[in-house]
Structure 1
Amino acid sequence: MPKSTRFVIVVCAIAIAMVLLLQFYWVKNYYAVNQATFEKEVNMAFEDALKKEFSLRCDTIQQLIAKRLMDTTEFRITSLFDTIQGKHIFTIANAHKPGQKFSSSALSFRGVNKALMPGDTAFKWTIARRFAYTLRTEDLQNHVVYYRTQNLGGFMVDNVNKYDFDTTRLRPVLIHYLKDRNIDIPFHFYLREADSTMNRSHFSEKLLSHYPIVTKAYPTYKQSGKEQYVRAMFSNPFSYIVGRMGLMFAGSLLLIALVAFSLIYLLHTLFREKRLSAIKNDFISNITHEFKTPIATASAAIEALTGFGVLDDPEKARRYLSHSKSELEKLAGLVDKVLSISMYESLDFNIKPEPIDIDAKINELLTCTVALSGKEINWDYINNTGINTIMADDLYFEHAVNNIVDNALKYSGGKVQLQVSVDIKSDFLILMIKDNGIGIAAADLPMVFEKFYRVPSGNLHKVKGHGLGLNYVKSIVERHKGWCKIESEPGKGTIFSLAWPL
């Protein structure tokens, strides 16, 4: 490979590698940013869920307190007008111990200022709900219970214990807040007796390997037990982050794929050009050698005619002139072959399909080949289709078959065995020609139909040719909208299959 080509490959490889590295670095950083965003989102969702779950518990206890205050066997609700303050004061007293009581004088009862009359159940409910709301805001929401009366304090403590913090109630609330943020990642609650709402560095590697995202700790305010702090731990958020990155991530992957494909395509093109250059050089070497032989022979004959008195001997003169003519005819034939390359390049030939008697045509071609080859040839032909006629261009059909048979004879030994058969496969008539020649290596099989390609054998080709025959055969078959296939193994011969549409 030339140094310039190697230099171009190295520069392109380095440039593409740098692009890939930059893309990888960008994607990695963007992933980290989205992971941090995910962590922030789940922390906010967890905090909102804790507040909501606590609020729901307070709602439940507040309603139970209001209902309990309406129980006349436990409490007495009365009102008294305070002339100094100019408003009605409502009092709740323990029905069993009337001395235990508390009033609304120190509480916020704005908007409620009328006397509670006996039998006014609706207004009594209003007073009970207002007291329950006040106890919620001043006691429950501050995580304390003041025993304003013994029975009310005991009732509130009992219900606080009954509706204590529970992850079973918290889970659906957290799921709801996560869905609001389009997060659907498995999570697990982590409860501890002691924790820090700031420090997150004391988790084991084993735990973090399963749950890499851990929220801040929040107090549970449980009345008893070791579950005093709670965290939410999330599995790897890869699917969420990739979904959030969306088109940008897909575009980056596409760009990386395109760059990688470009490098592969560039290398493939360069190596293909190198191989084509080698094929071209081999063709030039071969055709040059074939040109030189008739030129040298004709030159020697002409030199003998002019320099050694051969013109004085009519018989010798005729013989030398005959040699010269024969070699010039060979030279003209070689020139015709070179000129025909342009035809193969443009595929400028027209197909004129006509009915062909397949059996008669193949038998005729094989018989003529045997007569002219000068080798011992044994051949068998069998038609397994029951079809005798196909539509094809007679001349080009003959050229295709002759090229395949000619190759079989060239690359076989002194004794040639040909097996020719016709079969049907997927609406194609398959003409199969099998020989017992030297075969072709697997590495060369994909290239045998390329123009000028000949199986490498150094600078020496025992069999003359220009690497055009099989390319010509392929062109003919494809012009007929068919296909061709080759199977071969060194030392075991070759099988050519030509498919003609029915």
Structure 2
Amino acid sequence: MRFTKLNIIVLIGLFAIIGVITTQVLTLSRAYRFEKKEVGEKIHFALQDVVDKIYRDNKNELPNTTPIKKVSEDYYVVNVNDVFEAEILEYYLKAEFQKVKLDMDYEYAIYDCASDEMMYGQYIAAGGKAAAGKARCANCFTKREGLVYYFAIRFPNLRYNYITSLQQYWIYTGVLFLVLVIYVYSVLLLLKQKKYTELQKDFINNMTHEFKTPLSSILIASNYAARQEAIENNPRLNKYLQIIIQQSNKLNQHIERILNVAKSDANLQSLEKKDIDIIETLSLVRENALLKHEKAAISISSDKESYRIRADEFHVYNIIYNIVENAIKYGADQPSVDISVKQTVKGLQLLFTDNGPGIPDAHIDYVFDKFYRVPRQNKKEVEGFGIGLFYVKKICELHGWKIGIKNNERSTGLAIAIAIPKNNIV
């Protein structure tokens, strides 16, 4: 696998999440072991106090060895070594378990010497109340050889209580696993989208280059034919040939624009910044636009005769011409474009306003998206590829400028504002 910046970031993020989850699982394991130890100690201390009280009631001395035998995790046998009453045992069990705050179900059985059997006592629910409806497990209590006076106690829901007591840890662990699943899914979607984007760029580059070769041949042949005497002397043929040349140049401009956008997306384009006069650039755009659109009216207003900024002259000219040409193409029958340049607190603002129909509010937020075209009626002859304003915004972002668009509130048309920060002003 080729280690690009994206792949490295994805791997680091994956290792970080796996590390956090591993730490959480280890913490959960330690908390589980600690909970088991703490509950075991509570049970042992409570049973020891029960034995102490029974021995004290019988006025016997406590044995040197512990009378409590842990048979399994949830099963204990307690040797009392003297007679005792079942009611007193149950009372002591409730009192001592309540004292150590051991709130869980348990059941007990007492060995009967006469029948030589374990006599089932009672099922006590959490809180110390007898639960008659609970499922009893009388067969779970077995005799212990060598003991005469003893009782056995069992905690049927002990393992479940361990899990519920660690509820907070389980929630954190579950959330982390959910984050990992979402992260992996998002990365897969991102890589899939990246693959599609690269295929799209390759297709655009190949398509435009394949178009440019025959288009160049058409332009060369058309320009050569236009200079022939027979064509020059025939107004109709000359007119048709000029249409061919004009539309070929227009198509060539579209292809160049697509190539520029594709290069910009691939970060293959570097800006060649230098000091330029933005007023001169605006004037040049106005002159060239008026040559192509004779009916248009373009005005430039500025509070200074000259504003010098540091920018890429080629791309700045392109984005300004693109904005002006869009205003003319989609404008009124007598298109008018007003360009104002003024200094603000944060830098310099270029404001382009026109007298066109504007853009519906449902579409205005998407005009800078690639390939997005605003639905228009009776304007199919001027529809483009939906990359003009995307290119404008891309170049502004590469310069560190901000661009915004909105419908004029007091009149028809659009207002496009480009904010140039102070550090770009010379």
Q: TM-score, normalised by structure 1?
A: 0.45
* Matches for 1:285-324 after TM superposition, within 5 Å: 316=233
Rounded to whole Å, the distance in 2 between the matches of 1:456 and 1:279 is 23
- In structure 1, the residue matched to 2:313 is 395
In the TM superposition, residue 351 of structure 1 has moved relative to its aligned partner by 1.2
* Matches for 1:38-437 after TM superposition, within 5 Å: 49-59=42-52, 131-133=60-62, 141=80, 144=83, 164-167=92-95, 170-172=98-100, 174=102, 188-192=126-130, 194=132, 197-198=136-137, 237=163, 240=166, 243=169, 253=178, 256-262=181-187, 264-265=189-190, 268=193, 316=233, 331=248, 335=252, 338=255, 342=259, 345=263, 346-354=268-276, 356=277, 360-361=279-280, 364=283, 368=287, 372=291, 373-375=293-295, 377=297, 381=301, 389-393=307-311, 395-396=313-314, 397-418=316-337, 420=339, 427-437=346-356
Rounded to whole Å, the distance in 2 between the matches of 1:64 and 1:497 is 95
Contact 1:191–1:231 under 8 Å retained in 2: no
Rounded to whole Å, the distance in 2 between the matches of 1:325 and 1:430 is 39
Rounded to whole Å, the distance in 2 between the matches of 1:430 and 1:399 is 18
Q: Secondary structure at the match of 1:191?
A: coil
In the TM superposition, residue 348 of structure 1 has moved relative to its aligned partner by 4.8
In the TM superposition, residue 474 of structure 1 has moved relative to its aligned partner by 3.5
CA, structure 1 residues 141+375, in 2 after alignment: closer, same or farther (shift >3 Å)? farther
Contact 2:274–2:313 under 8 Å retained in 1: no
Q: What residue identity is the alignment partner of 1:484?
A: I
CA, structure 1 residues 431+449, in 2 after alignment: closer, same or farther (shift >3 Å)? farther
Rounded to whole Å, the distance in 2 between the matches of 1:429 and 1:401 is 15
Q: Mind listing any 5+ residue stretches in structure 1 that lack a counterpart?
A: 1-30, 67-130, 147-159, 176-186, 200-215, 218-227
CA, structure 1 residues 425+328, in 2 after alignment: closer, same or farther (shift >3 Å)? closer
- In structure 2, the residue matched to 1:480 is 399
Q: TM-score, normalised by structure 2?
A: 0.51
Contact 1:287–1:466 under 8 Å retained in 2: no
- Percent identity between matched residues is 20
CA, structure 1 residues 469+498, in 2 after alignment: closer, same or farther (shift >3 Å)? same
Q: Secondary structure at the match of 2:273?
A: coil
Q: What residue identity is the alignment partner of 1:402?
A: Y
Contact 2:55–2:62 under 8 Å retained in 1: yes
CA, structure 1 residues 318+54, in 2 after alignment: closer, same or farther (shift >3 Å)? closer
In the TM superposition, residue 352 of structure 1 has moved relative to its aligned partner by 0.7
- In structure 1, the residue matched to 2:107 is none
Rounded to whole Å, the distance in 2 between the matches of 1:361 and 1:239 is 76
Q: Secondary structure at the match of 2:102?
A: helix
Rounded to whole Å, the distance in 1 between the matches of 2:190 and 2:54 is 72
**What's the Cα RMSD here?**
6.4
Number of residue pairs matched by the alignment: 338
Matched, 1:500 2:420: yes
Q: Mind listing any 5+ residue stretches in structure 2 that lack a counterpart?
A: 1-24, 68-77, 104-124, 142-152
Contact 2:343–2:349 under 8 Å retained in 1: yes
CA, structure 1 residues 498+427, in 2 after alignment: closer, same or farther (shift >3 Å)? same
Contact 2:328–2:336 under 8 Å retained in 1: no
CA deviations on 1:81-130 (whole Å, 9 max, x unpaired) are: xxxxxxxxxxxxxxxxxxxxxxxxxxxxxxxxxxxxxxxxxxxxxxxxxx
